[in-house]
Amino acid sequence: MNFKEKEGEVLYFDKPLRWTSFAVVNKIRYHISRKLGVKKIKVGHAGTLDPLATGVMIICTGKATKRIEEFQYHTKEYIATLQLGATTPSFDLEKEIDATYPTDHITKEMVEETLKKFVGTIEQVPPAFSACKVDGKRAYDLARKGDEVELKPKILVIDEIELLEYNLPEIKIRVVCSKGTYIRALARDIGQALQSGAHLTGLIRTRVGEVKLEDCMKVEDFETWLDQQEIEVIND
């Protein structure tokens, strides 16, 4: 294929574990700038993934950055691993376990019935450790400083939740949901609904709209891939 400098490209990546979404954008911008011999190029992503999550990340370059909002509204699918019986302040492995709860009363049938309650239009309070803004500041900046963070519930849609594995204290679920859904917050709420606690121990975004994980390239392969492309420069 030709790499169209002026029109921009829409690229699909499998975000590596522990990378921030910002770091992926920076890496891609660096390689494109070097290849094209330009200092400034627009590069943006269509939906943040937490550092501890992996999976589908859509990156737009040049004029294609105008399509970012379009991609953000696409339905997303995740595979999430939850540890029941314990919570963390961040609802994932970023923070240490701060409380433990009983799990003896939990059965597979109970989990399946509880998951059904989350399908449809729901209200969700975003995590304090999130990019939501509170009085113009990022919630995670306030939370990491130890400040109290109060976030308002958001209305969102969960299309599907399926129990893939039941192996207490761990369960694995598949979630299909709308823009703005925090799977970490869903883990918290599932834990509470089971009269226990829960936090996320693994998260893979397997689909954004029609883009699936198998359509994505690894970030470390991008430089080689880019070197093999014909650069198409369109003179205005």
Give the Cα separation of 168 and 39 in Å (integer). Answer: 52
Give the Cα separation of 54 and 9 in Å (integer). Answer: 22
Strands 2-4, 10-15: pairing kind = unpaired
Give the Cα separation of 171 and 161 in Å (integer). Answer: 12
**Which of 7, 4, 26, 3 lies closest to 15, judged by CA?**
26
> Is the CB of residue 80 less than 8 Å from the CB of residue 187?
yes
How crowded is residue 161: how many other Cβ atoms within 10 Å of its Cβ? 20
SS3 110: helix
Give the Cα separation of 74 and 60 in Å (integer). Answer: 15
φ/ψ of residue 115, rounded to 5: -60, -35
Task: Give CA torsion, residues 216, 220, 223, 224, to 10 deg.
Answer: -80
Catalytic choice (14, 50, 92, 189)? 50
How crowded is residue 108: how many other Cβ atoms within 10 Å of its Cβ? 12
50 carries an active-site annotation: yes
SS3 236: coil
Q: Which residues are catalytic?
A: 50
